[in-house]
């Protein structure tokens, strides 16, 4: 493990350690997996315009997220069923996030409950919410998260039905018998059982509310005072509606390329959303972040911060809490290095003109 020098190297270790069904569940995307590859490839097409001879002897990475001060604008995205990766699952992730002084988002479909994660100790945590057909279950869950000290709700809005993940269909994906979706333990919500295709797809079809719409953000605001982040926005049109609906923030996300294939990479969609948000609410990004350079590119295009998903799962599988800590530290170090080499001493100095994208107009060099 001491030889690992970047985040991506954890994936091969995780693949070797995990059962095929589990690795495939974490790693795969929808259908042709075009968007899965594009989430990474799109970052590689954005280039830097570094500024030189700036005094970078002191660099401040701290960020303020929904009023909470964190050590860096790199946070943990919600990923389901982490005890499939490691026996300590979400406990290890929560401790690693707290040690790094950053935010963890807990999935509705966690294998540890909101109360259990809160019991790991102090830390700023958000709760990712799927809206079930039984709204009493939703209200109960949100109130439990609030009581357990969670600071925001990340409402997933891109999953009225589960995307077609062919690896899960082939593997007849189901939750291993010794694990449960802890937030729903004791509730009569059916089981994630083996079926003729993906057990998760069948579960979602039976439980998740396909009628979810913009009015439900107002309904959520009647049951909680927590800020609501709308997770899964990719267009300016939906950004404007989210503003009207009273969202406290937006997460530009394509669900790790696991829902609709052939949507743009999140880094490609980001600027459209940022422009439409007009600075009124913060815009975050998840999807494809594997390097500190990716973090910088997202911030240069207007993101207030990024969330990482698969790097957490793979490092958790490889080395438990220590793995997640190392991923957060490596990304922090790379991001700090990128800031130094582009001439930025704080997040507010990261500007749009530090990057050049394929949709920028060609720069015309004046004749001398």
Residue extents of the structural domains in the chain? 7-357
Q: Answer yes or no: is 315 a known binding residue.
A: no
pLDDT of 35 above 90: yes
pLDDT at 66: 98
Residue 70 burial class via C-beta count within 10 angstroms: exposed 0-12, middle 13-18, buried 19 and up: buried
Q: Answer yes or no: is 253 a known binding residue.
A: yes
Residues acting as catalytic residues: 255
What is the C-alpha separation between 59 and 343, in angstroms, rounded?
A: 10
Note the CATH architecture for domain 7-357.
Alpha-Beta Barrel (3.20)
Confidence of residue 199 (pLDDT cuts 50, 70, 90): low
What is the C-alpha separation between 42 and 52, in angstroms, rounded?
A: 26
Confidence of residue 1 (pLDDT cuts 50, 70, 90): confident
Q: Answer yes or no: is 78 a known binding residue.
A: yes
Kindly give the pairing relationship between strand 355-356 and strand 305-308.
Answer: unpaired
Q: Answer yes or no: is 144 a known binding residue.
A: no
pLDDT at 275: 98
**CA-to-CA dists, residue 198 to 56, 262, 314, angstroms:** 51, 21, 22
pLDDT of 364 above 60: no
- Beta-bridge mates of residue 251: 231, 284
């Amino acid at each position: 493990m001491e030889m690992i020098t970047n985040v991506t190297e954890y994936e091969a270790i995780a693949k070797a350690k995990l059962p095929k069904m589990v690795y495939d569940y974490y790693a795969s995307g929808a259908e042709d997996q075009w968007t899965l590859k594009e989430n990474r490839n799109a970052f590689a097409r954005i280039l830097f315009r570094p500024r030189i001879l700036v005094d970078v002897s002191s660099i401040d990475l701290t960020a303020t997220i929904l009023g909470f001060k964190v050590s860096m604008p790199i946070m943990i995205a919600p990923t389901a069923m982490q005890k499939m990766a490691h026996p300590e699952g979400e406990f290890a992730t929560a401790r690693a996030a707290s040690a790094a002084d950053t935010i963890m988002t807990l999935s509705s479909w966690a294998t540890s409950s909101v109360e259990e994660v809160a019991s790991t100790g102090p830390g700023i945590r958000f709760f990712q919410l799927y809206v079930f057909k039984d709204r009493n279950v939703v209200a109960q869950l949100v109130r439990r998260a609030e009581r357990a000290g969670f600071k925001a709700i990340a409402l997933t809005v891109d999953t009225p039905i589960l995307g077609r993940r062919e690896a899960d269909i082939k593997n007849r994906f189901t939750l291993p018998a010794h694990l449960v979706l802890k937030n729903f333990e004791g509730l009569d919500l059916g089981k994630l059982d083996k079926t003729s295709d993906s057990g998760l797809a069948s579960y979602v079809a039976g439980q998740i509310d396909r009628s979810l719409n913009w009015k439900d953000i107002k309904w959520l605001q009647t049951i909680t005072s927590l800020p609501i982040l709308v997770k899964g926005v990719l267009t300016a049109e939906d950004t404007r509606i989210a503003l009207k609906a009273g969202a406290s923030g937006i997460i530009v996300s394509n669900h790790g390329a696991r829902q609709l294939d052939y949507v743009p990479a999140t880094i490609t969609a980001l600027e459209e959303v940022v422009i439409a948000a007009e600075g009124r609410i913060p815009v975050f990004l998840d999807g494809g972040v594997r390097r500190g350079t990716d973090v910088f590119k997202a911030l240069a295009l207007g993101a207030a911060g990024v969330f990482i998903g698969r790097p957490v799962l793979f490092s958790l599988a490889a080395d438990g809490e220590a793995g997640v800590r190392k991923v957060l530290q490596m990304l922090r170090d790379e991001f700090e290095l990128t800031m130094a080499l582009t001439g930025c001493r704080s997040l507010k100095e990261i500007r749009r003109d530090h990057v050049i994208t394929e949709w920028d107009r060609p720069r015309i060099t004046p004749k001398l």
